[in-house]
Chains A and B, each alone.
Chain A
Amino acid sequence: MAEIDKPQREVDVPGDWTYASAPESRDIVHIRDRYGYYVGGEWLEPAETYETISPRDEEPLAAVGQATAEDVGRAVAAARTAYADGWSSLPGSERAKYLFRIARILQERSREFAVLESLNGGKPIKESRDVDLPLAAAHFFYYAGWADKLEYAFPNRRPRPVGVAGQIIPWNFPLLMLAWKVAPALACGNTVVLKPAETTPLTALLFCDVLRQAELPDGVVNIVTGDGRTGAALVESEDVDKIAFTGSTEVGKEIQRRLAGTGKRLTLELGGKAANIVFDDAALDQAVEGIVNGIYFNQGHVCCAGSRLFVQESIYEPLVAKLERRLTTLRVGDPLDKNSDVGAINSAAQLEKIRELVASGVEEGAEIYQPPCVLPEKGYWFVPTVFTNVAQSYRIAQEEIFGPVLSVLTFRTPEEALEKANNTPYGLSAGVWTEKGSRILWMAQRLRAGVVWANTFNRFDPGSPFGGYKESGFGREGGRHGLEPYLRFDE
């Protein structure tokens, strides 16, 4: 008991409990002034460029090429040559080793990539560091292992590569989406022409360094940058055998139309308006964390975001109170600050779209809640937002916002929850929160969505197939099923 008599040490109690900023250094990243296209292992000089910026402060980062149909044609020709000149006939075990190399280099250089991803795309560094980069490397690692085992994945079907794959990826997970597309394509013996999103080309361009470091044969992966015109040129390129697209449903439909009658293969991973359903017996604090992760992760720039929250009426008030309290603790700010939970909106155009839809929600009669929040003066920002008193017919309950905006609706019975959840043309993902196991399975079976998260949300793994029902697209990425779009079979 001697300690009790010890005099207590005086401790300074700070009057201000706000976090000091903890900026991640950007010294590790070297950005060139100007980037061309990576074609056949060489950098091609672009005739026309545009500026890619950082959404956190609108700082110009580099000049990037706006590829023309002719540039795309060169890239496709390089991919075709590489395909014919050995890549497609290389033993799977050798292809695997290239993919293992890429995975390892990504792991080694992960901090550099994470910083660049946050700088160019606006996502918080803790997400690019802890989610995007580990998953991108894991994806290459996973598919490396399949490259020499395809006959076991598809017995009696004689799997062969499709040829040249044209891949168009979005701006929300730039490097991760590259990994989702490139890894299975290469594992199956295809060559690739990839177009990163207009606003986030830099990690894909840095990835070309990785390809060189891994000594991947020239032309196996080619990267062209530009806006929608470049994507359209890739879709219409005659010598592409397969198109894989991740992006909006609107553009996906247009691609499906343009490919009609061409015989080219197509997979689409499109938009969503996921229902996140909370029953009255759910562990509420865990559910609140899941709801927050479901819609504010990556500023809500997530196609499978849980943007429609359905709460059982009996717990509506306590749940919304907990959720709004939790929102006050979210830190919105500099993506490079390790304390930031929510970063910058990816682009001015996206910010405009979010603002317009949020204004429509207010106008249609929903009640808006936004926590007190000091936003940086420069750059593109949007405060995490919750709408209550939302009717199913409101635009904010029907259209994909692709921003940190949640619509809360209610239900009484499981049947009603299901009916409302499925009442959308989309079908990418859904969430269910309840402690009752049989209800989880009952709901999971009836929700029309490609991924159902029960008592969790927004989990991803290279071994887990991902993709949509209905207008959220077709085809799967991840797992054994993710190989199929990149293979031809004996009938």
Chain B
Amino acid sequence: MSRLPVKKTYKLFIGGAFPRSESGRTYEAEGQNVARGSRKDVRDAVRAARGAQSGWAKATAYNRGQVLYRVAEMVEARADEFAELCTGRDEVERAIDRIVWYAGWADKLPQVLGGSNPVAGPYFNFTVPEPTGVVAVLAPDEPPLLGLATRLLPPLVGGNAVVAVASETRPLAAIELAEALATSDVPGGVVNLLTGRHSELGPVLASHMDVNAIDIGGANGDAPELERLAADNVKRVVHGRADVQSPWEIASFLELKTVWHPMGQ
């Protein structure tokens, strides 16, 4: 007699924990019942992200880089599982390499994106990039793992906290990634992953007054409407592509701060 396997309950990832959706609802994707996140789950996730963001931003850039490198280690360790949840081994390897690539940017951004400014007066003046705050990401449907990693890493490496909605049609890789993140060194709340309908969660995130930027590249649905809602608190709107790797992707989720000080005796 063959053994009956233990089946997994697919849940959300908020504040470092795995709660069920407050709505109690699920939807079917990839043959599984997946949590269908609600407005209140978004509220909880944004609150968790806001709570975790300043600590993540204050960590040294060296530390953030190491923490993200550790994420790559965790994904590598689960490479076989991931391969079954996305298009295959190749996608997993590309995702891992992308995480490593971005991890290495953490302590190089100010030198590439900022600098000191020559001003016509006795002042020292410098510009540094800083995280914009809480970033919402509507992950692209395909490729399920690489697409999510591509959109998740740029805001993270810059010191933002993220609330991401997984691919609606292929959410299982995102859930697996949440489990890898939970066993990595990423502080709880820095990454929050929701599953559910983009058409339901997208407008809530786009109009949320405590979200500073939104990446709607993966939005399936009414992107112009999301842009309109984003204007309520002058959100930075990014149309991120599913497969791109560049420091300018990070810059989309950064603010530039310029500081002046007189020079004297």
Contact residues in B for A138 (Cβ distance below 8 Å): 120
- A-B interface contact total, Cβ < 8 Å: 107
Q: Which of A440, A455, A473, A476 has a CB less than 8 Å from the CB of B256? A: A476
Q: How far is the CB of B125 from chain A (nearest CB, A)?
A: 5
Is the Cβ of B260 less than 8 Å from the Cβ of A451? yes
Q: Which of B212, B255, B259 has a CB less than 8 Å from the CB of A454? A: B259
Query: Once the chains are docked, how many angstroms separate the CA of A268 from the CA of B234?
Result: 9
Q: Which residue of B lies closest to A471 (CB)?
A: B234
* A425 within 8 Å of B (CB atoms): yes
Query: Once the chains are docked, how many angstroms separate the CA of A278 from the CA of B256?
Result: 24
- Contact pattern, B 90-126, Cβ under 8 Å of A = 1, otherwise 0: 0000000000000000000000000101111101010
Q: Which residue of A lies closest to B119 (CB)?
A: A461
Contact residues in B for A473 (Cβ distance below 8 Å): 234
Contact residues in A for B230 (Cβ distance below 8 Å): 256, 260
Query: Once the chains are docked, how many angstroms separate the CA of A194 from the CA of B220?
Result: 36
Query: Once the chains are docked, how many angstroms separate the CA of A480 from the CA of B121?
Result: 19
Q: How far is the CB of A279 from chain B (nearest CB, A)?
A: 15
Query: Once the chains are docked, how many angstroms separate the CA of A466 from the CA of B223?
Result: 30
Is the Cβ of A260 less than 8 Å from the Cβ of B234? no
Q: Which residue of A lies closest to B227 (CB)?
A: A260
Is the Cβ of A456 less than 8 Å from the Cβ of B119? no
Q: How far is the CB of B127 from chain A (nearest CB, A)?
A: 5
Contact residues in A for B80 (Cβ distance below 8 Å): none
Q: How far is the CB of B184 from chain A (nearest CB, A)?
A: 26
- Contact pattern, B 142-175, Cβ under 8 Å of A = 1, otherwise 0: 0000000000000000000000000000000000
Is the Cβ of B231 less than 8 Å from the Cβ of A479? no
Query: Once the chains are docked, how many angstroms separate the CA of A480 from the CA of B126?
Result: 12
Q: Which of B118, B121, B234 has a CB less than 8 Å from the CB of A459? A: B121
Is the Cβ of A257 less than 8 Å from the Cβ of B228? yes
- Which residues of B in the span 204-260 have a Cβ within 8 Å of any Cβ on A? 212, 223-225, 227-228, 230-234, 236, 241, 244, 246, 248, 255-260
Is the Cβ of A479 less than 8 Å from the Cβ of B127? yes
Query: Once the chains are docked, how many angstroms separate the CA of A261 from the CA of B67?
Result: 37
Q: Which residue of B lies closest to A491 (CB)?
A: B244
Contact residues in B for A454 (Cβ distance below 8 Å): 259-261
Given A256-B231, A449-B257, are A455 and B262 neighbors across the interface (CB < 8 Å)?
A: yes
Sorted from nearest, which 7 A-B pairs have the closest CB atoms? A261-B224, A260-B227, A256-B231, A461-B119, A260-B228, A257-B231, A454-B261
Known contacts A261-B225, A449-B257; 9 additional CB pairs below 8 A are A256-B227, A452-B258, A461-B119, A464-B117, A464-B127, A466-B258, A470-B212, A471-B234, A491-B244
- 25 A-B contact pairs sorted by A residue (CB < 8 Å): A138-B120, A253-B232, A253-B234, A260-B231, A261-B227, A444-B259, A450-B257, A454-B260, A456-B123, A456-B261, A459-B119, A459-B121, A461-B117, A461-B119, A463-B118, A463-B120, A464-B117, A464-B119, A465-B117, A465-B256, A466-B258, A470-B212, A471-B234, A474-B236, A479-B127
